[in-house]
Amino acid sequence: GIQVEQSPPDLILQEGANSTLRCNFSDSVNNLQWFHQNPWGQLINLFYIPSGTKQNGRLSATTVATERYSLLYISSSQTTDSGVYFCANERGGADGLTFGKGTHLIIQP
């Protein structure tokens, strides 16, 4: 089945720093989504981005479908950005999403 690899697995930054999270796919990018799971376990949609670039406030994402990767940028990090960031892609043409193992981000004050 489709493989989704995220890097880095863990990231600790100071408040105000910028970060880039990466997601690589073994198959074509059809339904690429980024999520933030906050410390309370809630999954929050960040971006639906099968291709191109989108921005939402301090967050932006870019997907290069031809090279099978996506990047999530977080600028001017805040402590509330802490949590786990997941990317997910459609399961090789089937329904449902395949998730990566996530990047665990800790923003220290």
The contact set with another protein (CB under 8 A) reads 30-31, 33, 35, 41-45, 48, 50, 86, 88, 90-91, 93-102
Instruction: Write down the residue that tokens 């880039």 correspond to.
Output: 20
Peptide linkage before 50 cis (omega within 30 of 0) = no
The whole-angstrom separation of Cα 35 and Cα 43 is 6
Please say which residue, 58 or 101, places its beta carbon nearer to another protein.
101
Q: How far is the CB of 33 from another protein (least distance, A)?
A: 7
Q: How far is the CB of 89 from another protein (least distance, A)?
A: 11
- DSSP annotation of 26: S
Among all chains, which residue has been given the structure tokens 């990767």?
A: 69
Q: Which is nearer to another protein, 93 or 109 (CB)?
A: 93
